Amino acid sequence: MVETMNNMVLISSKMVVTASLLYLLAMVLYIFFIIFKNKKVGIAASVTGIIGFSLHFISFIIRWIEFYDLSNGQILRSIPITNKYESLMFFALLLSGFYVVLEYKTKNKSLGVFAFAISGSFALFISAIGAPSDLNLLVPALKSNWLLAHVSLSFTAYVCFTVAAIAAILYLIKTVDNKKRYSYIIYTFVLGVLVSVIITLIINIILGEKANTINMMIIFVFFTVSFFIIFYQNGLSLKNLFKDIGFDADTIEAITYKFIAVGFAIFTIGGMVFGAIWAEVAWGRFWSWDSKESWTFITWIIYGLYLHGRLSNKWSKELAATVALIGLLSTIFTFLGVNLLIAGLHSYGS
């Protein structure tokens, strides 16, 4: 039985690797589609992405089933989102799934480059770290349905914020043509951060055991500065690349708003309320100002300000899109930075 389980989990892990490569191939095809406007290339990009998502989804279900058998039939506590490997896999799965649905609803492929670049890089990274074939019973602190609801909803909100930020980047690319604008500086910086995260994750895979946190941070900072300069100097050329994407600026901005509105509601319930309830059950207090909790609160405040400014009509859409990108930076740090750099009560997720 154990040998059969290990074989199935190994198959699941290999499926994730295949899915990640398909995501990255889809990203390349979406780039060619945007440049050459070839419908056959666009269809190939969509099909490749959908196949990648399907394999990824099946691998997730396989891991869930095996975890269910290992935990003696506790289905809610068997959701594979209890450590860094599984949570990153879940994030990449949700992001690619959200994009597939969005493309189907809008009939537009403009966001595919960004969505599958992030999903593919994260999926490739998670398939290479740690021992993905191992399934372990939950540690005592994790044995709570509240925590699993908290984690799953938090990551769903993270994906909503990521999709919103991708749309916000496209909105600013289409509408901002002055390098001295604060929005231009922010979106070129965020592009630099996203590319640097992807490259750093790939380098982490290549280095393997030789990689360490300090070296990875140095590499990340170097690439962030370098790509920020590149995007800042050449950002206006992106305007021509995305000028015929099929979305008008108002539609793109509406996508940002809708995904943040949904994400904020989910984040409030799953990230804040359910997290506090679980903390009281596990630690005897609703709030402890743990590093993860503190950054979660900061992220919640940023998106709350976005919704306030957006709904009050006191902010321009340019400012709202810029705040959405600042929210993404906070989300990335809440998602990855806190776990990697700051010790705290949430460190068991490593």
pTM for the whole thing?
0.89
Mean pLDDT of 170-174: 94
Give dist(CA 15, CA 12) in Å, integer. 5
Per-residue pLDDT of 297-346, as tens digits, reads 999 999 999 999 999 988 999 999 999 999 999 998 887 767 666 555 45
Mean pLDDT of 78-93: 84
Distances (CA, A) of 215 to 74, 194, 209, 212, 221: 40, 18, 12, 6, 10
What is the per-residue burial (b if ≥16 Cβ within 10 Å, else e) of 214-223?
eebeebbeeb
Q: Are 156 and 90 in contact (CB under 8 A)?
A: no
| Amino acid (one-letter) located at 247 | F
Among positive and negative, which fits the CA dihedral 150, 191, 170, 99?
negative
Give the other-Cβ count within 10 Å of 232's Cβ: 17
pLDDT at 244: 75
| Domain extents in the chain | 1-138, 140-350
Per-residue pLDDT of 20-72, as tens digits, reads 999 999 999 999 998 888 999 999 999 999 999 999 999 999 988 888 777 76
Based on the number of CB atoms within 10 Å of its own CB, is 268 exposed (0-12), middle (13-18) or buried (19 or more)? middle
Per-residue pLDDT of 212-267, as tens digits, reads 778 888 998 999 999 999 999 998 888 888 877 778 899 999 999 999 999 999 99
Given a cut of 60, whether residue 12 has pLDDT beyond it is yes
Given a cut of 70, whether residue 3 has pLDDT beyond it is no
